[in-house]
């Protein structure tokens, strides 16, 4: 009987010890939290509110139930958003902007109190649209292409300055896509066709002008040649013309003499050269 009581007492002590160890382990586990690499923590205290100090990487203690950690990712993250903006000449332009952002570590408690954990999703799309509309309105539609580096630089400077008001650091800002509305695209196509037609008409006019000048020069040459011949005839008489006629006849005779299919007939006499006259 005594041995049974001792066994029951021993088991009861073991259960109590296990229960105490379980409670202790639970309390210890709830008193620890870990901040991974590339993260920071902000502590919320039920009595003091958000603590102004930021907790770095590693394992840290807190008071269970009284304090609660909120983890922020401080690594650079990409964000992409689109906007439809009006240009200076009242054309609609579709723009896509990509930014690389991260929070300002020293201002994480302020960010948590005013914006929460999803601070970037709340702030970046709104200020991005605001900046793009303000910048695009300063340029004509065609200038967005011809002066794209200047437009990108202006968007970058304005957006970095605007994000700084919300304690957000932008490492890079870039315009990744730019397209125009259907009406403007059609107008650009019509303008290109008109320019091609104008260039073609200009070429036709230049060609006609060159042909006119060539005809004038040719006519002036023929007139000068005729004048020279007339002067030579007046000075030497008809002998020059007769000389040219003899030279032309000589060239014709030389050409015909070299042709085997040409026969020469006397101007007068019997056509049948091989027959004697009938007696």
pLDDT digits (tens, 9 = 90+) for 142-173: 888 888 889 999 999 999 999 999 999 999 99
The CATH number that applies at residue 100 is: 3.30.479.30
Residues 40 and 139 in one domain: no
Residues 27 and 82 in one domain: no
Q: What is the pLDDT of residues 47-95, one digit of tens each?
A: 999 999 999 999 998 888 899 999 999 999 999 989 888 888 888 899 9
* Structure confidence at residue 232 (pLDDT): 66
Give percent above pLDDT 70 in the chain.
78
pTM above 0.85, yes or no: no
Residues 83 and 104 in one domain: yes
The range of the structural domain enclosing residue 40 comes to 13-73
Which residue, 189, 112, 127, is CA-closest to 160? 127
Domain membership of residue 223 (yes or no) is no
Domain membership of residue 279 (yes or no) is no
What is the number of structural domains in the chain?
2
Domain membership of residue 161 (yes or no) is yes
């Amino acid at each position: 009987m005594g041995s049974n009581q001792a066994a029951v007492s021993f088991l009861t002590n073991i259960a109590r010890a296990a229960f105490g160890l379980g409670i202790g382990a639970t309390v210890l586990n709830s008193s620890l939290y870990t901040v991974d690499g590339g993260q920071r923590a902000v502590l919320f205290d039920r009595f003091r509110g958000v603590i102004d100090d930021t907790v770095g990487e590693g394992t840290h203690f807190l008071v269970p139930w009284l304090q609660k950690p909120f983890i922020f990712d401080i690594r650079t993250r990409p964000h992409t958003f689109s906007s439809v903006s009006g240009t200076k000449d009242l054309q609609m332009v579709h723009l896509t902007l990509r930014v690389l952002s991260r929070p300002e570590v020293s201002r994480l408690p302020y960010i948590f109190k005013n914006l929460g954990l999803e601070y970037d999703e709340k702030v970046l799309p709104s200020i991005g649209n605001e900046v793009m509309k303000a910048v695009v309105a300063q340029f004509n539609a065609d200038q967005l292409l011809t002066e794209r580096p200047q437009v990108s630089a202006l968007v970058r400077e304005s957006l970095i300055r605007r994000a700084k008001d919300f304690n957000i650091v932008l490492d890079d800002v870039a315009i990744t896509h730019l397209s125009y509305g259907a009406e403007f695209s059609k107008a650009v196509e019509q303008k290109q066709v008109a320019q091609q037609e104008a260039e073609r008409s200009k070429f036709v006019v230049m060609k006609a002008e060159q042909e006119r000048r060539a005809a004038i020069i040719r006519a002036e040459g023929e007139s000068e040649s005729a004048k020279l011949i007339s002067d030579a005839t007046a000075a030497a008489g008809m002998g020059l013309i007769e000389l040219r006629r003899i030279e032309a006849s000589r060239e014709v005779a030389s050409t015909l003499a070299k042709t085997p299919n040409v026969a020469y007939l006397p101007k007068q006499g019997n056509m049948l050269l091989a027959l004697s006259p009938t007696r």
